[in-house]
Amino acid sequence: MATFIYKVIAPDGRVQTGKVNMDSPSTVADFLRSKGHRIVYIKETRGFSGGSSKSAQSQSEGFLSKLSKISIRDLSIFTDQFGTMMNAGLSISRALSVLSKQTTNPKLTKIILSLAEEVKKGNSLSSALSKYPNVFSPLYISMVKAGEASGNLGDSLIKMASFLQKDYETEHKLKGAMTYPLAVLVFSILIVIGLFIFVIPTFEGFLSQLGAPLPAPTKLTFAMADFLIKYGWILLILTIIGYILYARWAKTPSGRKRVDAWKLKMPVFGELNIKAAMARFSDTLATLFGAGIPLTEALETVKGVIDNVIIAEAVEGIIGRIKRGESLAASLEKSGMFTPMVVEMTGIGEESGSLDTMLVKVAEFYNEEVDYMINNISALINPIMMVFVGGLIGGVLISLYLPIFQMAGYVH
């Protein structure tokens, strides 16, 4: 027999810990469940053994890590349903078993089944989640860990589901705002290339037969068409090579830093990215701090989920200043990366003891600002792109008809 320590949530909602001598973790789990307890964790005091099972888990993790990314939307739905079931009184393993049958994403289903097996062995849910870092972020794991410690796992999961849903909506809007003009630009370029390759050569042959004098714009158009027909494949290859080299460079530490710095400084979209980052920072920190996680630990998690190296480095500096005894508001101001509103509202929150409430208000404000900017950008881009595309195609067509107009003038 071995000695196990455990932490459970009793039927009356109280968190209890204890020690018991039994044969295996599954026996301890069955014993605790028979008393109506919900298991937080079960651990053998002398540590775990079983190298082969660890190897099997490693192989399973390696296989799952190769699966394509599970969408934020799928994760949000799973988390919300999980939290609702926990608040309804279901055990973790029972809730996971039900979710595995109703989740439509087959990749997520495999992970849920694996989590259920880990929990049945007596492991905590947070430790089981940490084996899938490509699916569950440090923020997600921290929220679950806080819920396990406080005995409010269901509420923590529902908060996390709400955060994921807002994150999904913001990301979707940002991608839409930045993808639309790029898509229109690419489409217009393809149309112009089609004109140069298939239409302009016909006009060139027709005008050559007429012997009409060619004005400078027409000569330039024909020269560009000849270049694309003869050397277009070289241009395409160079473009593909350039994109591959850029993508590789952007993944290096120095490249990622340069790209993220540019994202914060680019016209119009730079301000949009800054406001989105302020909303994400405030919302994430409010969620973690409100769940009872210490400030420095919460900031460490925030640093891991901020999708910008420049801001993440600023958060790292803030953590160092707080450890030296500075306030959060003063640390934010000294970093130079956060807006005056974030600094001022944080200071008010620290003074009044309602930091999480103030941060939630900041996040709501900046989320509204992001929505407003996206709507304005979309409204502005539509006519600008229409004028650009129309001007591009119209300029090519005018250059083709100029010789005909000139001939008509000569005849007259």
Instruction: List pLDDT tens digits, range 66-76.
Output: 444 678 888 88
Q: Does residue 322 carry a pLDDT above 80?
A: yes
Q: What is the pTM of this model?
A: 0.65
Least confident of 26-40, 154-168, 368-382: 26-40
* Contacts for 105 with CB less than 8 Å, ≥ 6 apart: 70, 71, 74
Among the residue ranges 164-168, 253-257, 272-276, the one predicted with the least confidence is 164-168
First to last CA, the chain: 111
pLDDT score at 66? 45
- Residue 169's Cβ-count burial label (10 Å; 0-12, 13-18, 19+) is middle
Pair of tokens at residue 35: 């008393």
Tell me, what's the pLDDT at 411?
A: 52
Do 400 and 200 form a contact (C-beta atoms < 8 A)? yes
According to the model, what pLDDT value does residue 55 have? 42
Token pair listed for 235: 């241009």
Inform me whether the pLDDT recorded for 130 exceeds 70: yes
The predicted structure's pLDDT at residue 381: 77
Q: pLDDT band for position 102 (50/70/90)?
A: confident
User: What is the per-residue burial (b if ≥16 Cβ within 10 Å, else e) of 102-114?
Assistant: ebebeebbbbbbb
Amino acid 318: pLDDT: 93
Q: Could you report the per-residue pLDDT of 2-18, keeping only the tens digit for each?
A: 777 877 777 766 777 88
Work out the pLDDT band at 58, boundaries 50, 70, 90. very low
Q: Say which range, 159-168, 180-189, 364-373, has the weakest mean pLDDT.
A: 180-189
Q: What mean pLDDT is predicted for residues 26-33?
A: 75
pLDDT at 40: 67
* pLDDT range class, residue 388, cuts 50, 70, 90: confident
More confident residue, 377 or 93: 93
Which residues are CB-neighbours of 148 under 8 A, at least 6 positions away? 7, 40, 41, 124, 125, 126
Report, as an integer, the average pLDDT of 196-210.
77
- How does the average pLDDT of the chain come out, rounded? 81
Q: In what order do the strands lie in the sheet with 2-9?
A: 15-22, 2-9, 38-44
